[in-house]
Structure 1
């Protein structure tokens, strides 16, 4: 049944995945270096920079933990090299797992099927890659036009820009949260507990400001634990 995993975890695939992962790491370091260089232009002090990086790193703990948990399941289906490569670029474990499952269904099988073969695995590689290309094309073709579109919508009013940005983020994250929460009882428990935790942690953060940086990560971890307990 899992003979294809022998090829999916071949050392050659690890080597082929390494360049793309290395590019992502190099870009992250490059962006960080450039941010430090231009920070004085916007009066961002070294202390502000450290606080911003620390906040981002801490806030990433919760989402990264969620991705790690799903990644374990992804590795068991498509092997370590491809999972490592895809999540280094996209970072959306559920999206990649869904793409792999859809690729299997298109060929009349499933990821858990005994007849899942090397051909099915190769098809999954193509589907996952092409799925990510759509996002890259939109960014490549429209990024330079977003500034003019934004100015036309807001007339240069930064308050309206903030409202639109926050509303868009709330809508996107709300859609993802609800669409996943309604798929199972444990997901619903995780979402509700994480939401309540975030409210309570924000209240606590008003009294202990230093905790505000940790709230998102803590809330997500609490939600994951609550969902796991409910499921077990």
Structure 2
């Protein structure tokens, strides 16, 4: 079977239907979470305007990461098929991790993604590897996610101010952990991180002006785009 025939199988209507069912579940979950969030906003001290502002901020902030995923779509579609790419990039895991797991799966049966010797066996192995990669995320979330708030509250000792500092520190540490290796790589990687960080700081400072307060909501999205532009230009 030629590579063209293998990809025809990967893009078959049956696979599209299966992927569509999975994506439909995600869409329904998203709508339900949004409805629950707005419904219970006042119960946690948020007004409807605050809830709308938070929703808009999150929506705008997702544009930057979505662009990077969109770029990966082209490569993954050619390697593992459109349905699998569409489904997996709508579910758990990062795009780069998913692509790497597909390569590992194909290599486990002695094949290479996209090569002329790529068979249905290699395709099946790559799909299995992609699925196995996502299972780890789901298992950890299922057993530990509901316990994390109790852990956070216990560590914070019930002091809301300390909890805010703790949450902010953990967030900074997490982003720092992921950013540090990229900075050390130099070139486009470091320039992307630095440009994004500096632009974020500048926009937050400028947003202190009452007339430019709206910029605070868009700062993260703009910073991500600026970082990617600098990375591509200087890489």
The alignment's TM-score, normalised by the length of structure 2, stands at 0.89
Other-structure match for 2:228: 224
Partners of 1:114 and 1:87 in 2: CA distance: 25
Q: In the alignment, which of 128, 131, 139 is matched to residue 133 of structure 2?
A: 131
The alpha carbon displacement at 1:183 in A equals 5.1
Q: Is the 8 A contact 1:100 1:127 kept in 2?
A: yes
Q: In the alignment, which of 182, 197, 218 is matched to residue 214 of structure 1?
A: 218
Deviations 1:148-171 (A, max 9, x none): 322332221223322332222222
Other-structure match for 2:202: 200
Aligned pairs (5 A) from 1:64-79: 64-79=66-81
Partners of 2:109 and 2:183 in 1: CA distance: 29
RMSD over aligned Cα, in angstroms?
2.0
Partners of 1:6 and 1:199 in 2: CA distance: 48
Deviations 1:86-144 (A, max 9, x none): 11112621121121122233333432433222211111111111111111111111233
Q: Is the 8 A contact 2:78 2:114 kept in 1?
A: no
Greater relative contact order: 1 or 2 (C-alpha under 8 angstroms, separation 6 or more)? Answer: 1
Q: Is the 8 A contact 2:93 2:137 kept in 1?
A: no
Q: How many residues align?
A: 231
The alpha carbon displacement at 1:187 in A equals 2.3
Question: Structure 1 runs of 4+ off > 4 angstroms?
Answer: 180-184
The alpha carbon displacement at 1:221 in A equals 0.9
Aligned pairs (5 A) from 1:17-166: 17-90=19-92, 92-166=94-168
Q: In the alignment, which of 176, 184, 189 is matched to residue 174 of structure 1?
A: 176
Structure 2 residues without counterparts, runs of 5 or longer: none
Q: In the alignment, which of 189, 192, 195 is matched to residue 190 of structure 1?
A: 192
Instruction: From the superposition, tell whether residues 183 and 112 of structure 1 become closer, same or farther in structure 2 (CA, over 3 Å).
Output: farther
